[in-house]
Structure 1
């Protein structure tokens, strides 16, 4: 009897502790979609990874960094990082373009273009299975704070914030679909709705448009700030690139 009473008393605390743990959107997907992500022969995102591997060799990345499996292992787990030249955070796509321009003398790749998505997918894929580990760099604190403020800011004609969906109502359903916590541990990822690969910035723009708010332009510092916050919020989750989502 006492055990039953104690269990009832502890149940809310246990539920609260569980809710505080980051949960990947993978856990909320249908079993067939989970199976698609797990199987590299069925995961359509692997096509971009393979293309990225070819670009890694062709574009000269291998000349500086050598074998990506060794040199890029863990890289995606810690981005965005602080960049001296920008005096602020830089994301993985920005670093790839920075390397192209400054080290190779090549033009920057178009944001959200297929070549950059492919290279980003290939690089991030080298860290699949590693935990998200944002750097403990105090210089990132302003960007992280800005990102959190943007995450909690009500936007658009619907007057909704990211936090209202992905914090307050995570795990519930919206129009029949489960609401994830909104973690960035699978990007770039293949979204069945898009029938293609996309970056975190594309998803953020979709959400902003969904609440009838004007999205920022691709590459805007606001997106980098939001990603900086989201990666700290997702610390410990395993990277899944290329993830598959509905």
Structure 2
């Protein structure tokens, strides 16, 4: 009885915090990144995809919800602290780490061969019919071609490689498929997005749809777009992936969370990515 009362009190307190919080609209700004090859314009605001127009007519990258100083870090690759991790991924790309001396480069050439992959994943593999995230592709190479044990989905090696691969698609338009073989996975992810979890009985939509723009404690609630993922998160002093954030968000509802890389979270990543169709892949965003 006492725990039930405590749960109700926590839920009520959170609801009051959201209701009474100040609304801070997304910042009017544009993002042009200085790269080693010149300037690159990133689409961080655009019309919502058809399946979302009744809910959010305009979609915004989470970049628009961050402070001036945080946004500035993403404008120049030299200032972006996440580039150190992408460089580590590049070192691993060229390293002959396979049991037979294989490297990523020995099969794929340079990392630029991955251009476009980030913009269309998660996607259904034509051969197996399985929904694949980039981490699945990396582990397939690590285990099947290199003879190694799978890397952890949220381990450092995996996130370094994810950062490197994502950068190859920077500036390309997010365009994940939601029809055909992807449809049942997308529907599952959508159901999860609107399902309330945990003692706080909160869904993804409660924060990122119902209360977009609100301040909850010191956090400015964004639309929850993942076009910037993976991101360098200042409070974590490291790279954070979409799968990692899903774990953290569900855990914050005081629920027993699904595992990173689970079928549930892969379906959720597909649905959330589809909400950002039309934005640019940011490659490696910076968030607080």
Structure 1-normalised TM-score?
A: 0.88
The structure where strand makes up a greater share of residues is 2
Alpha-carbon separation, structure 1, partners of 2:149 and 2:218: 44
Q: Does structure 1 residue 117 correspond to structure 2 residue 154?
A: no
1:74 aligned to 90, 97, 116, which one?
116
2:264 aligned to 203, 222, 242, which one?
222
- Counterpart position of 1:10: none
Q: CA deviation at 1:72?
A: 1.1
Structure 2's unaligned 5+ residue stretches are 1-52, 98-102
* 1:79–1:91 contact (8 Å) kept in structure 2: yes
Q: Does structure 1 residue 185 correspond to structure 2 residue 218?
A: no
The structure where helix makes up a greater share of residues is 1
Q: Does structure 1 residue 48 correspond to structure 2 residue 85?
A: yes
1:212 aligned to 249, 254, 258, which one?
254
Change (3 A) 1:238 1:215: same
2:76 aligned to 35, 39, 62, which one?
39
Alpha-carbon separation, structure 1, partners of 2:178 and 2:210: 27
Runs of at least 4 residues off by over 6 Å: none
Deviations 1:49-74 (A, max 9, x none): 101111111141111111222x1111
Alpha-carbon separation, structure 2, partners of 1:200 and 1:120: 11
Q: What is the CA RMSD across the aligned residues, in angstroms? A: 1.7
- Counterpart position of 1:167: 209
Change (3 A) 1:173 1:74: same
- Counterpart position of 2:104: 61
Deviations 1:21-60 (A, max 9, x none): 2100001111110111122112111011101111111141
- Structure 2 residue matching 1:201: 3-state secondary structure: helix
Q: Does structure 1 residue 157 correspond to structure 2 residue 199?
A: yes
Give the length in aligned residue pairs. Answer: 230
Between 101-110 and 192-201, the greater mean CA deviation after superposition: 101-110
* 2:178–2:274 contact (8 Å) kept in structure 1: no
- Structure 1 residue matching 2:227: 3-state secondary structure: coil
Structure 1's unaligned 5+ residue stretches are 1-15
- Structure 2 residue matching 1:22: 3-state secondary structure: strand
